[in-house]
C-alpha cells in the first residue's frame, strides 16, 4: 500500500517539476515588454511613435512603429478614448494608430498570470485527493475482509451435477435423498411437525467425492450452492472469520432454499483448546459464529449447511450436537465395484477402446479414491495424445496407474552400471521374498526405472479388497520390506542409502503391530500411546505417553525382535534361492521392467 502511495507521489513530483521548468523557459524566451505609465503613452502618441494599441480590460499592449512592445495600464472604469481625450491627445494623431479592444481580456493572458499559482494548488489538491482515495481503498479492502468469499454456484441445464454423476456411495446417496426432499418440499415435513435438519457432515478421505456429493444435492434439489473452505475463514486478522460467517449466512438466507458447503471444516472446527499458534482465538470465534448462526436460523428458513472433513476425530463435539451437524454421512474409499462404476462415469466423455476392461483396471487400483481414478483416466488421455493415438487403450491406462501411484517415471534419472546392479538386486530381493511367502500380495510389477523418490519399485496388489489383516500377513510384509536391504547386504556385503525408506516403513509397521494392534505376545492386547491432537504447521508433533519407562523399553525390544526375525526370514529365502534371485536380476537389467507374467515365468511352475 505505502509503496503505491510513494509511487504516486513521485509521479506527481515529476509532473510538477516538468511544468515548472516549462513555465520558467517560457518566461525566459518571451521578450519582456517594458512597462510604462499613461503619460508616456500619451507622449508617444503625440510623437506618432505608436502603431497599435490592444486594450485588454485595463491592460494596454502597445506596439511602437519600430516594433518595440510595451505595456501599460489604465483604470478599468474609464474607456481608452475618454482617457486619451482627457489627456488631450489630438484626434488626428490617433488616425494612424490601430486601436483594438478585446473585451474581458485575453484568456491566455489570464492563464499565464494565474496558472503559475494555480498549478501547484491543483497538484496539491489532486495529491491529497489521491491519497484519500488510496486510504479509502485500503479501508474498503479491510472492510471486504469481513465479507465472505463464498462462491455461489447456480447450476443450470446440462452442466448440472446430480446423483447420476456420483458413482458408488450408495448409502451416502440414500441419506442425502432425504435432504433433497427437505429442500424441494419442506412443507411436507413441517406439516407433521418434523424439524428440518440444519447440518450434514460429510466425512471421508480426500478425493472420495464429498464436494461432488454436496454439489449433487444442490443439483438434484435445484437450489443455489454456496461454497467456502474452512481455511478461508482463518485469516491473520482477528474477527475476520466471524464476520465472514455472518455475511455468508446473510447471503444464503436471502437466496433460501439453498446449500452452504463448508469444505475442510476441521480448519475451524477443531476441538477448542487444542492446538498451538496464533490463529487459535480466531478459530474459536469463527466456530462459535457458525454455531450461533446455525442455532439462530429459524426452522422456516430452508438453508442446509453441508460440511466436509477428513478428520472427524478432531472435530469439536459442540459441532456434533443435535440441531447442528447431527446428520453424518461417511464416505469410504471405493471398493472394486465402486471403482469400476467411477471409472465408467469418467470414461463416458472419453474415447476409450472397446477392448478396455474397466473391471481389470478397478482390480489394479485398490486404495484409489474417486479423485485418483478421475486423475488416472486423465493421465491416460494425456499419454495417448502424446503418442498420437485417437483413442485411449488399456495399455495407456495401466501405465498411468503407476504414475498416479508413485509419481512420474524418471527415465532421465539414469543409474550408472553399479547403481543399476545394486537396484536390481534390491528390487529382486523384494520380489523374490514376496513371491515365496504365502500371505503376501502377488507381485504385479518389478522395475528399476526410478519413479518419484524411489530408485526402483516392486508393486504388489491384493487379489481382492481386504479390510482386515492378520498378524501373519504383517509379519511377512515386514520380511518383504526388509528383503531389499537383506539382498544388498548378502550380495555386496554392505548396504546403500536406497533402503532407508524401506526401513522407516518397516519400523513403523512393527511399531503399529506392537502398540496399536495388540499383536505382540510380550506386550499383550492393549494400545499404547495416547495420540493427542496438537497441530503445528499441519503436523502432529506430540504423542502422549501413557505407559511407564519400563513398558517403553519392552516396546523397543519387541519392535527390534520383530524386525530381526523378519530379517532372518528374508535372509533365509535369499540364501536358499540365490540362483532364482540372480535370474530375476539378469532379466531386470536386460528389460528394466518386468510385468507380472514375465516375472512369474522366471519361476518353475508351482503354487500361488
Ligand atoms: P473431496 O471433496 O472428498 O476431497 P471431491 O468431491 O472434490 O473430493 O472429488 C474430486 C473429484 O473426484 C471429483 O470432481 C470427481 O471427478 C471425482 N470423484 C470422486 N468421487 C467420485 C464418485 N463417487 N463418482 C465420480 N467421480 C468421483
Ligand atoms: Zn526397497
Closest CA to 197 of 285, 262, 259: 259
Closest CA to 171 of 232, 213, 118: 213
pLDDT at 237 over 70: no
What H or E segment, with its residue span, contains residue 531? strand 530-531
In the chain, what is the straight-line distance between the N-terminal and C-terminal CA atoms, in Å? 70
What's the CATH fold of domain 417-600?
A: Methane Monooxygenase Hydroxylase; Chain G, domain 1 (1.20.58)
Residue pLDDT, tens place only, 7-25: 777 777 787 787 777 766 6
Task: State the cell numbers at 228.
Answer: 467456502
- Closest ligand to C-alpha of residue 422 is 2
Query: Which residues are within 8 A (CB) of 48 and not within 5 positions of it... i.e. 6 or more apart?
Result: 65, 93, 96
- Helix residue spans in 297-436 (DSSP H): 336-347, 358-363, 370-386, 394-406, 417-436
Q: How far is the CA of 553 from the centre of ligand 1 (A)?
A: 45
CATH architecture assignment, domain 336-406? Orthogonal Bundle (1.10)
| Nearest protein Cα to ligand 1, atom 12 | 371
Q: Which atom of ligand 1 is nearest to the CA of 212?
A: 6
Which residues sit with Cβ closer than 5 angstroms to ligand 2, an ion?
484, 502
Q: Which atom of ligand 1 is nearest to the CA of 341?
A: 24
Q: CA 137, CA 145: separation in Å to the nearest integer?
A: 12
Closest CA to 346 of 380, 373, 379: 373
- Helix residue spans in 222-369 (DSSP H): 230-233, 240-254, 266-269, 280-296, 336-347, 358-363
Q: Which regions of the chain carry the CATH code 3.40.50.300?
A: 151-331
Q: How far is the CA of 40 from the centre of ligand 2 (A)?
A: 112
The mean per-residue pLDDT over the stretch 202-223 comes to: 89
Q: CA 239, CA 119: separation in Å to the nearest integer?
A: 45
Ligand 1 contact, 172 CB (< 6 A): no
pLDDT at 563 over 90: yes
Ligand 1 contact, 212 CB (< 6 A): yes
62 pLDDT tier (thresholds 50, 70, 90): confident
| Nearest protein Cα to ligand 1, atom 5 | 209
Q: Which regions of the chain carry the CATH code 1.10.8.60?
A: 336-406
CATH number of 151-331: 3.40.50.300
Domain 31-105 sits in CATH 3.30.720.210: yes
Question: Which pLDDT does position 156 carry in this prediction?
Answer: 62
- As annotated, the active-site residues are 427
Residue pLDDT, tens place only, 244-288: 888 888 888 888 788 899 888 887 766 555 444 444 667 777 888
Q: How far is the CA of 371 from the centre of ligand 1 (A)?
A: 5
Ligand 1 contact, 341 CB (< 6 A): no
Q: How far is the CA of 207 from the centre of ligand 1 (A)?
A: 5
- SS3 category, 557: helix
Residue positions counted in the chain: 608
Q: Which atom of ligand 1 is nearest to the CA of 205?
A: 3
Q: Beta strands 50-56 and 98-102: pairing type? A: parallel
- SS3 category, 143: helix
Q: Is the N-terminal amide bond of 132 cis, ω within 30° of 0?
A: no
| Nearest protein Cα to ligand 1, atom 17 | 371
pTM of the model: 0.62
Q: Which atom of ligand 1 is nearest to the CA of 372?
A: 12
What H or E segment, with its residue span, contains residue 578? helix 578-591
The mean per-residue pLDDT over the stretch 581-597 comes to: 89
pLDDT at 413 over 50: yes
| Nearest protein Cα to ligand 1, atom 9 | 209
pLDDT at 158 over 70: no
Q: How far is the CA of 210 from the centre of ligand 1 (A)?
A: 7
Q: What angle do CA 147, 265, 323 make, to 5 degrees?
A: 95
Q: Which regions of the chain carry the CATH code 3.30.720.210?
A: 31-105
Amino acid at each position: 500500500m505505502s509503496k503505491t502511495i510513494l509511487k504516486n507521489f513521485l509521479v506527481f513530483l515529476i509532473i510538477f517539476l516538468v511544468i515548472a521548468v516549462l513555465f520558467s523557459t517560457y518566461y525566459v524566451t518571451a521578450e519582456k515588454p517594458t512597462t510604462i505609465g499613461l503619460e508616456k503613452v500619451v507622449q508617444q502618441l503625440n510623437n506618432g511613435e505608436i502603431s497599435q494599441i490592444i486594450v485588454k480590460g485595463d491592460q494596454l499592449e502597445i506596439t511602437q512603429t519600430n516594433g518595440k512592445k510595451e505595456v501599460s495600464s489604465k483604470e478599468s472604469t474609464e474607456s481608452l478614448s475618454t482617457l486619451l481625450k482627457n489627456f488631450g491627445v489630438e484626434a488626428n494623431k490617433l488616425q494612424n494608430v490601430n486601436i483594438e479592444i478585446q473585451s474581458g481580456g485575453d484568456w491566455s493572458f489570464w492563464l499565464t498570470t494565474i496558472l503559475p499559482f494555480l498549478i501547484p494548488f491543483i497538484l496539491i489538491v489532486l495529491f491529497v485527493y489521491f491519497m484519500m482515495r488510496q486510504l479509502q481503498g485500503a479501508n474498503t479492502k479491510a472492510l471486504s475482509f469481513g465479507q465472505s468469499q463464498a462462491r455461489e454456484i447456480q447450476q443450470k441445464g446440462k452442466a448440472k451435477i446430480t446423483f447420476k454423476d456420483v458413482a458408488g456411495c450408495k448409502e451416502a446417496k440414500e441419506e442425502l435423498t432425504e435432504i433433497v426432499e427437505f429442500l424441494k418440499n419442506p412443507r411436507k415435513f413441517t406439516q407433521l411437525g418434523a424439524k428440518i435438519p440444519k447440518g450434514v457432515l460429510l466425512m471421508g478421505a480426500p478425493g472420495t467425492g464429498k464436494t461432488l456429493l454436496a454439489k449433487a444435492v444442490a443439483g438434484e434439489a435445484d437450489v443455489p450452492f454456496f461454497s467456502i473452505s474452512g481455511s478461508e475463514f482463518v485469516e491473520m486478522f482477528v474477527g475476520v472469520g466471524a464476520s465472514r460467517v455472518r455475511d455468508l449466512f446473510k447471503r444464503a438466507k436471502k437466496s433460501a432454499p439453498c446449500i452452504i458447503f463448508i469444505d475442510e471444516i476441521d480448519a475451524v472446527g477443531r476441538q477448542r483448546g487444542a492446538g498451538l499458534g496464533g490463529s487459535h482465538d480466531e478459530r474459536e470465534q469463527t466456530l462459535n459464529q457458525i454455531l450461533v448462526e446455525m442455532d439462530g436460523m429459524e426452522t422456516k428458513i430452508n438453508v442446509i449447511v453441508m460440511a466436509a472433513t477428513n478428520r472427524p476425530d478432531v472435530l469439536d463435539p459442540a459441532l456434533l450436537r443435535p440441531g447442528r451437524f447431527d446428520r453424518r454421512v461417511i464416505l469410504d474409499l471405493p471398493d472394486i465395484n465402486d471403482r469400476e462404476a467411477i471409472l465408467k462415469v469418467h470414461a463416458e466423455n472419453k474415447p476409450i477402446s472397446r477392448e478396455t476392461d474397466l473391471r481389470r483396471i478397478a482390480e489394479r487400483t485398490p486404495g484409489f479414491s474417486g479423485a485418483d481414478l478421475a486423475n488416472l483416466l486423465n493421465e491416460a488421455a494425456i499419454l495417448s495424445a502424446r503418442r498420437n493415438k485417437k483413442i485411449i487403450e488399456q495399455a495407456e491406462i495401466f501405465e498411468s496407474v503407476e504414475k498416479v501411484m508413485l509419481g512420474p517415471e524418471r527415465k532421465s534419472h539414469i543409474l550408472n552400471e553399479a547403481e543399476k546392479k545394486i537396484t536390481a538386486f534390491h528390487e529382486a530381493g523384494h520380489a523374490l521374498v514376496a513371491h515365496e511367502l504365502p500371505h503376501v500380495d502377488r507381485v504385479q510389477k518389478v522395475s528399476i526405472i526410478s519413479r518419484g523418490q524411489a530408485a526402483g519399485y516392486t508393486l504388489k496388489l491384493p487379489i481382492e479388497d481386504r479390510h482386515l489383516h492378520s498378524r501373519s500377513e504383517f509379519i511377512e510384509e515386514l520380511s518383504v520390506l526388509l528383503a531389499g536391504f537383506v539382498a544388498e547386504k548378502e550380495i555386496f556385503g554392505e548396504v546403500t542409502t536406497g533402503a532407508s525408506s524401506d526401513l522407516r516403513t518397516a519400523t513403523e509397521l512393527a511399531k503399529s503391530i506392537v502398540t496399536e494392534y495388540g499383536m505382540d505376545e510380550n506386550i499383550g492386547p492393549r494400545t499404547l500411546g495416547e495420540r493427542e491432537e496438537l497441530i503445528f504447521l499441519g503436523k502432529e508433533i506430540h504423542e502422549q505417553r501413557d505407559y511407564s519407562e519400563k513398558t517403553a523399553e519392552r516396546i523397543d525390544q519387541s519392535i527390534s525382535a520383530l524386525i530381526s526375525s523378519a530379517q532372518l526370514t528374508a535372509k533365509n529365502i535369499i540364501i536358499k534361492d540365490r540362483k532364482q534371485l540372480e535370474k530375476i536380476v539378469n532379466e531386470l537389467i536386460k528389460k528394466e521392467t518386468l510385468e507380472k507374467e514375465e516375472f512369474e515365468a522366471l519361476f518353475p511352475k508351482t503354487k500361488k
